[in-house]
Homo-oligomer: A and B are copies of this chain.
C-alpha cells in the first residue's frame, strides 16, 4: 500500500507541519482530511512570518528608512515568487488580494464599471457553470442584478463533469465573460479548459479561471491556460490566511478601472480628482497584507522546492487509492468522478441514509477531520438531489494510512448508526 507509485516522502514532509502532531479527543492524532477547505502551514511559512514581524515590519512603498525598504523588498519579492510560480509573463500581472473571493469580485466589479469593449451591461451575457463555488456565483449574480446582464451557465452530467454539449448556445456573441472553476472543490472534477477557452475566444469573451483548488495541487501555467484572469487563494496552498491572488493580462489590467480606492493605488490625488498608479498597484488599495504576501512567497518556495509535478503525482496516487478503498464501503456513493483521471484530490460522498453531519461528527470523535455540508457549492447538491455531502480532501502530506483510517472510521460510522 505504501508502494503506490509517485508517493512523496511524507514522513519527512509531515515533520514540517507542526499541527499534524496535534492530538484531539484524548490523545488521538489528528487525521486532517479537510485540505480543500484550508491547508496546513509548514514551519518554513511560519518562520517567514515571524522573521518579517520580528525584524523587518514596516509599511511598504515610499519609505526611506531601512525597515520600510526591507519590507518593500520582501513584499515585492513575494510578487516575483508568485509570478514565477504561475509562469506569469510579468510580475506586474500579479495583484494581491485578501482571498480568491476578493479576486473574483474584483474582476466582476471592474467589468461592471469598465468602458467598452469590456463593459458588462443589459445587452450582454455572463457565463458560469453549475459546479462553481459560491465565490464564483454570487459576484456574477450581483453584477447581473446591478447591470441587467443575463447570467447563464453550463450544467453537469450525471457523473460529475461539465456538460458542454450546448457549448455554442451557452457562449454566444453576447457573452462578455466566461468564468469557471479549474478543479471543483466539491466534485473534484478537473475541467477541460481548452474547449471553453476556444469558444470564448471565438466570440471575444474574457475568460476567468477560478484556480483556487488547482494552484495548491498541480503546476499552474497562466500562459498555457490562455485565460485572461486567474484567481487563487493563499490559505489553501500552505500559505497564511488573509492573502489571495488575481493574475490578469497586463493589457487588461492597464485598461480596466480600479475597484477599491485609497492609499497605495493612486498616482496623484487632489480634492477634485485623482489619477491611479499602474497595475498591479492600481488594484491594491490601502496597506496590503504585507506579512501574508511574504508568507505566501515562502509557501510557493516550499511547494516549488518539493515540485508541483511531484505533488500532483502524489495526490493522484492517494486519490486513486482513496477512490478504490471508499468504494469498498457498503452504501457509500461518490458524488463526482469515480476514478482519478482528470480529477483533483477532493472526494465527496454520501453514506446511505446517514446524514453527513453525523458522518463528520462520528469521524471527528475518531480524530478524523473531514468537511460536511454543501461546501459552498449548493447548486451541485441541488443538481444531485442531496442535502449535503461528506468530503475528504488530500494534500502533499496525506498518506495511504490516513485513507485507511478514514475507511475504518466510515465502517465505524455505519455500525454506529446501523
Say if the beta carbon of A191 comes within 8 Å of chain B.
no
Report the separation of the CA atoms of residues A290 and B19 in the bound assembly, to the nearest whole angstrom.
Answer: 16
In the complex, the answer to whether A98 meets B98 with C-beta atoms within 8 Å is: yes
Q: Mark A47-74, 1 if CB is under 8 A from B, else 0.
A: 0011001111111001111111000000
Question: Could you list 24 examples of A-B contacts with CB < 8 Å?
Answer: A18-B55, A19-B53, A19-B57, A22-B67, A32-B67, A34-B67, A58-B369, A62-B371, A101-B286, A102-B260, A102-B285, A105-B261, A134-B261, A135-B285, A135-B286, A137-B261, A138-B262, A138-B274, A153-B271, A233-B287, A240-B291, A241-B287, A262-B376, A289-B292
Say if the beta carbon of A130 comes within 8 Å of chain B.
yes
- Residue from the list B65, B66, B151, B289 in contact with A241, Cβ < 8 A: B289
Say if the beta carbon of A242 comes within 8 Å of chain B.
yes
Say if the beta carbon of A415 comes within 8 Å of chain B.
no
Interface residues on A, range: 35 or more
Report the separation of the CA atoms of residues A361 and B94 in the bound assembly, to the nearest whole angstrom.
Answer: 30
Q: Please indicate the chain B residues that have their CB under 8 angstroms from the CB of A137 in the complex.
A: 261, 269, 271, 274
Question: Which of A38-46, A201-209, A333-341, A394-402 has 4 or more CB atoms under 8 Å from chain B?
Answer: A38-46
| Minimal Cβ-Cβ distance residue in B for A136 | B262
In the complex, the answer to whether A138 meets B271 with C-beta atoms within 8 Å is: no
**Known A38-B59, A58-B37; contact A139-B261, beta-carbon cutoff 8 A:** yes
Q: Which interface residue of A113, A233, A240, A264 has the most chain B CB atoms within 10 A?
A: A240
| Minimal Cβ-Cβ distance residue in B for A38 | B59
**Known A138-B261, A138-B269, A142-B261; contact A64-B361, beta-carbon cutoff 8 A:** yes
In the complex, the answer to whether A287 meets B142 with C-beta atoms within 8 Å is: no
| Minimal Cβ-Cβ distance residue in B for A39 | B57
| Minimal Cβ-Cβ distance residue in B for A235 | B287
- Residue from the list B63, B101, B258, B260 in contact with A285, Cβ < 8 A: B101
Q: Please indicate the chain B residues that have their CB under 8 angstroms from the CB of A100 in the complex.
A: 286
Q: Which A residues, 311 to 328, have Cβ-Cβ distances below 8 Å to chain B?
A: none
In the complex, given contacts A50-B50, A102-B286, A104-B262, what are 4 additional A-B residue pairs having Cβ atoms less than 8 angstroms apart?
A22-B67, A37-B58, A101-B260, A138-B262
CB distance from A336 to the nearest CB of B (A): 18
In the complex, the answer to whether B64 meets A364 with C-beta atoms within 8 Å is: yes
In the complex, the answer to whether A46 meets B57 with C-beta atoms within 8 Å is: no
Report the separation of the CA atoms of residues A229 and B339 in the bound assembly, to the nearest whole angstrom.
Answer: 52
Q: Mark A362-382, 1 if CB is under 8 A from B, else 0.
A: 011000111111001011001
In the complex, the answer to whether B379 meets A25 with C-beta atoms within 8 Å is: no
Say if the beta carbon of A2 comes within 8 Å of chain B.
no
Q: Which A residues, 224 to 254, have Cβ-Cβ distances below 8 Å to chain B?
A: 233, 235, 240-244
Say if the beta carbon of A268 comes within 8 Å of chain B.
yes
In the complex, the answer to whether A55 meets B261 with C-beta atoms within 8 Å is: no
Report the separation of the CA atoms of residues A322 and B34 in the bound assembly, to the nearest whole angstrom.
Answer: 53
**Known A101-B263, A241-B291, A291-B241; contact A53-B24, beta-carbon cutoff 8 A:** no
| Minimal Cβ-Cβ distance residue in B for A360 | B64
| Minimal Cβ-Cβ distance residue in B for A151 | B271
Q: Please indicate the chain B residues that have their CB under 8 angstroms from the CB of A304 in the complex.
A: none
Say if the beta carbon of A270 comes within 8 Å of chain B.
yes
Report the separation of the CA atoms of residues A134 and B233 in the bound assembly, to the nearest whole angstrom.
Answer: 27
Say if the beta carbon of A357 comes within 8 Å of chain B.
yes
In the complex, the answer to whether A34 meets B46 with C-beta atoms within 8 Å is: no
